Amino acid sequence: MPIPGLERRRPLLLAPMEEITDQTFRRLARRFGADLVFTEFVSSEGVVHDAPKSLAKFALAPDEHPVGIQIFGARIAAVVASARRAAEAGADLIDLNAGCPVRKVAGKGGGAGLLRTPQLLEEMAQALVDAVALPVTVKIRLGWDERSINVVEIATRLERAGAAAVTVHARTRSQRFRPPADWSWIGRVKQAVSIPVIGNGDVWEPADAARLFDETACDAVMIGRAAMGNPWIFSRTRHYLDTGTLPPPPSTAERFGVLLEHLREAVAEKGERRGVIEMRKLYRGYLRGLPGAARLRAALMEPLTLTGVQRCLADYGRAQEIDLHGSASGPPARAGGSEGTGRTMEEPATDPRFEAHLAAARAAARRAWAPPRERCGAVAISRAGERFCGATMQLAAPSGLSVCAEQVALCAARAAGAGEIACVCLWIGPAAGDHPCGTCRQIWLELAPRARWLLQRGDQPPQWLSLDRLLPDPFRDFSPER
């Protein structure tokens, strides 16, 4: 069965991402050139129990088609029932999630858990094909872990069940989003089946999409995290695929204009407070590479109203001498982290003022810990001339998780008001994760490329670390992509 949106040469798709690809985001992606978009994933159990949150995800706008509704679940009856509801809601296709690595989904047999039960997955896909008069696609991973890669077998079974296409995220469930995607498996799946194969994983720039097409012969490329706060990824990639040249990046004025348009639509869809708060996760993409982006992003974490966000952007424009209704009149935007990434690090020379402030901050952070000492203390110290000042924060870190670098970044940004950040100190409880969350690496590269980093875990001796060692992977612990 033909899949809407895949008719053109080298189509580009927006990946389903939980709490990201809402109606406003999908419409924006379509406007900027995405050939097919997908909803957030929808719980089949939530649908059959008429859960408002699940049913709300079925709301589609006229200008976002073609659009696929992605569903997940472990029971065939529930998945089929929710697919029928999705068809009634106006979906152009049904996508079955067999790749979500999240424990509460995969651990119950849904998402990537289906990769461990190939027969059940095949029967589920067959039931969906029989139940709806729409194309049925399935998004899968390479396997449960590196020892059980079965993506070719799974794709072959799905083709036999009647699936119209298969999307391959080129990592296993256990890898989540950490190592580079292994595109070679996408090519092997393409050779094994005759249905369209959609490649997914590590497409960050237009050239990445071109390489994925060339190296695997896949029929379409799906873009996920790179589109967050960056709808231009679709138009720029399309231009690159068609001409072999890159168009200029969007100006600051254009970025802010689209950001505010996105925010206004989100507020209209969800209400002001919720729309403003949920927009925060997209600021990194919209502001990436702008001078002072980290400080602006920190400031944008404060407003709870559309007017407050507009005021922050206007203040930034005045400070940078940028005409937000035209082109920049000040210096060109600097890519974040291009100067001094803190790749080498030695213990700093002793400074009595610094040491006194550090000792007081360490004492405050350690006192905040409580048994079983799962809290993490974070201190950021900035320097203005001969004066040091700092801010201290204690963050809860449930067992198995790590301190949230986003919150540490905000703490540091506030402390940086007195001058350049001199040091960031982290104390991680024994029950917390191995190292701080890597989601905010870019924030630190922009905000404090020359800062000294001190890490202490439990009662172990403190270590002075480089930024690369402290935050080795910008997406180690986070991705909304399913």
Same domain assignment for residues 188 and 165: yes
Question: pLDDT by residue (tens digit) across 337-368?
Answer: 322 222 222 333 444 555 555 555 555 545 44
Same domain assignment for residues 225 and 278: no
Same domain assignment for residues 236 and 373: no
pLDDT at 397: 43
Same domain assignment for residues 165 and 55: yes
Same domain assignment for residues 153 and 227: yes
Report if residue 336 sits inside a domain: no
Task: Give the whole-angstrom CA distance, residue 429 versus residue 450.
Answer: 26
Give how far Cα 115 sits from Cα of 41, 67, 151, 166, Å: 17, 25, 8, 13
Report if residue 329 sits inside a domain: no
pLDDT at 478: 36
Contact 85, 50 (CB under 8 A): no
Task: Give the whole-angstrom CA distance, residue 88 versus residue 375.
Answer: 48
Report if residue 477 sits inside a domain: no
Same domain assignment for residues 178 and 271: no
Report if residue 6 sits inside a domain: no
Residues ≥6 apart with Cβ < 8 Å to 299: 312, 315, 316, 413
Same domain assignment for residues 230 and 295: no
pLDDT at 339: 27
**Domain that residue 223 falls in:** 12-243
Report if residue 481 sits inside a domain: no
**Partner residues linked to 223 by β-bridges:** 14
pLDDT at 130: 98
User: Where among 243, 261, 282 does a domain terminate?
Assistant: 243
pTM of this structure: 0.70
Question: pLDDT by residue (tens digit) across 223-260?
Answer: 999 999 999 999 999 999 999 999 999 999 999 999 99
User: Where among 243, 266, 295 does a domain terminate?
Assistant: 243
User: Where among 300, 319, 338 does a domain terminate?
Assistant: 319
pLDDT at 405: 44
pLDDT at 453: 65
pLDDT at 346: 33
User: Any idea which residue has 């950021």 for tokens?
Assistant: 380
Report if residue 475 sits inside a domain: no
Same domain assignment for residues 224 and 295: no
Same domain assignment for residues 257 and 405: no
Give the CATH number, domain containing residue 195. 3.20.20.70
Question: pLDDT by residue (tens digit) across 397-429?
Answer: 443 334 454 455 455 545 545 456 666 666 665
Same domain assignment for residues 233 and 260: no
Same domain assignment for residues 292 and 154: no
Report if residue 3 sits inside a domain: no
Give the CATH number, domain containing residue 437. 3.40.140.10
Residues ≥6 apart with Cβ < 8 Å to 462: 454, 455, 456
Task: Report residue 116: phi and psi, to 5°.
Answer: -85, -10
Tell me, yes or no, if 425 is annotated catalytic. no
Residues ≥6 apart with Cβ < 8 Å to 165: 3, 6, 135, 137, 138, 195, 196, 197, 198, 219, 220
Q: Which segments of the chain have a pLDDT < 70?
A: 325-482
Report if residue 454 sits inside a domain: yes
Task: Give the whole-angstrom CA distance, residue 140 versus residue 142.
Answer: 7
Give the CATH number, domain containing residue 293. 1.10.1200
Same domain assignment for residues 375 and 397: yes
- What is the count of structural domains for the chain? 3
